[in-house]
């Protein structure tokens, strides 16, 4: 929409539109068959793996990795593990995943009628909803 240069809200809206970069970086869809085949092969989320990766990259930020000079465990690294565990726990136990499936999914169905067995070929005509969990 064109900017009204006599209206401060319209001008701020113009800046917002540019600054939110919403049109940048849209990803192409992942092929459905690849998801069906590939997802069951994944290992799932592991707080330990994530925390260890983060801790191993601390040196990139100029921070020491490993035990304190006293020999004790670094509270920062313990905290990192706790933080990741809590985030993953929340994702796995509290997240609600809603999946909206648009109409147009091709279906092939078999049934029976008074005249005998029937086969139906077609597509869904209503959007449908599904749920999921993060593992």
Partner 1 sequence: MGLIDDKKNVFTTIGAYTSLNNGGKLPTTTNTFTSVNNKNEIIPLLLDVLKIVVGSEALQELTGQLFTNLVDKIEPDLKTGIKKQNIQSNSGDNLPTWFVSNGVSVPVKNIDVNGKLKTNPNSNSGSLLYDKSTPNFDSTAYQAIQNSGTDTTFGNMTINYNSNTDSFIYKPTNPNQTIGDFTNGFVDSITVINKKEFMSNVMNQFYGSISNDQNKTADQLAQELQISKLIEQVVNGDNSFTILPSDLDAILTKANDLANGSVNYDMGCGIITANLPLSGLTNVIASISGSTDPTFIGNQLNNTIDSSSNSPDTTTENKQTIKDGFFQTLINLIKTTLAQAVSTTPQIRTILAIVSAFQNNGITKIGNPIDDLKNFSIFINCNVNTAMKLINEFIYNLIITFLIALLQPIIKTIVKEKINQYINILKSLVSI
Q: Which residues bind partner 1 (CB under 8 A)?
A: 3, 5-6, 8, 11-12, 14-15, 18-19, 21, 24-28, 30, 34-35, 37-39, 41-42
Nearest to 102 by CA among 126, 118, 77, 68: 126
The CB-of-68 to partner 1 minimum distance in angstroms stands at 24
The CB-of-4 to partner 1 minimum distance in angstroms stands at 8
Nearer to partner 1, 66 or 86 (CB): 86
**Is the torsion defined by CA of 124, 125, 127, 129 positive or negative?**
negative
The CB-of-77 to partner 1 minimum distance in angstroms stands at 20
Residue pointed to by tokens 């539109």: 17
Write phi, then psi, for 132 (nearest 5 degrees).
Answer: -155, 170
Nearer to partner 1, 4 or 76 (CB): 4
Nearest to 89 by CA among 36, 51, 39, 124: 51
Nearer to partner 1, 27 or 113 (CB): 27
């Amino acid at each position: 929409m064109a900017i009204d240069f006599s209206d401060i809200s319209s001008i701020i809206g113009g800046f917002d539109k540019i600054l939110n970069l919403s049109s940048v970086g849209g990803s192409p869809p992942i092929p459905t068959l690849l998801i069906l085949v590939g997802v069951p092969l994944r290992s799932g989320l592991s707080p330990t793996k994530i925390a260890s990766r983060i801790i191993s990259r601390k040196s990139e930020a100029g921070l020491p990795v490993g035990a304190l000079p006293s020999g004790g465990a670094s509270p920062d690294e313990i905290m990192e593990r706790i933080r990741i565990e809590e985030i993953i726990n929340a994702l796995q136990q509290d997240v609600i995943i809603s999946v909206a499936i648009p109409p147009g999914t091709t279906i092939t169905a078999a049934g029976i009628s008074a005249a005998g067995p029937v086969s139906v070929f077609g597509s869904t005509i209503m959007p449908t909803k599904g749920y999921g969990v993060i593992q």
